[in-house]
A and B are shown apart, each in its own frame.
Chain A
Amino acid sequence: AQKVTQAQTEISVVEKEDVTLDCVYETRDTTYYLFWYKQPPSGELVFLIRRNSFDEQNEISGRYSWNFQKSTSSFNFTITASQVVDSAVYFCALSDTGTASKLTFGTGTRLQVTL
């Protein structure tokens, strides 16, 4: 069975601070995909990144960066110089690589960025 753990329920930071959201996963599959989604107060799920299990290169996209460590089964997400618009719930998710594989979500981390 697959499991995703986001131990941080809620994080509050002041604008311009850096913040890291933790994600730890469990799976018996040798190949899998990891995802991060953002859910702003409006409710939609916004895709941020997909990472294949055989690609451990870290990725940077603007103020966002992701650190994938297969050895510790972690896929952490860092926002640099946070902004108020980053306030949202962030979900880490996992799927296998089979056809029509469902996503297993973590419980989410609510990020509050204040001025």
Chain B
Amino acid sequence: AAGVIQSPRHLIKEKRETATLKCYPIPRHDTVYWYQQGPGQDPQFLISFYEKMQSDKGSIPDRFSAQQFSDYHSELNMSSLELGDSALYFCASSLGAKTNGYTFGSGTRLTVV
């Protein structure tokens, strides 16, 4: 069965650089969520999109932006990267009106040096 695809799997960036993370949800899933998991931490909700519109916003820095495109894939753009942005970034998808379960991608490990 198709799963949530995240790319890249690993990313190394320098401070003040920009990074773009991509997420391809399960086919027919209309909702995408982004989570950030710092070392030894639990995943923290960043932002979600339902039917290509922003649905909810968590503790997402102003330096980050995201969108969901017409094909339902989503991109998380991170600018002016800081050392503290080093984390595992998860994308999850679901059928918005049915919280049957969130299917998570394998994550993108971002390292800022």
Contacts and interface: CB of A to CB of B under 8 A. Distances in A.
Interface of A: 33, 35, 37, 43-45, 47, 50, 91, 95, 97-108
A44 B4 CA distance: 12
B106 interface: yes
B72 interface: no
B33 interface: yes
B104 A44 contact: yes
Interface of B: 31, 33, 35, 41-45, 48-50, 55-56, 58, 88, 90, 92, 94, 96-97, 99-104, 106-107, 109
A108 B96 CA distance: 26
Contacts of B97: 99
B50 A50 contact: no
B99 A45 contact: no
Residue among B42, B48, B97 with the highest chain A CB neighbour number at 10 A: B42
A44 B106 contact: yes
Given A44-B106, A50-B101, 15 more contacts: A35-B102, A37-B104, A43-B88, A45-B104, A47-B102, A50-B100, A91-B42, A99-B97, A100-B55, A103-B43, A103-B45, A103-B102, A105-B42, A105-B44, A107-B42
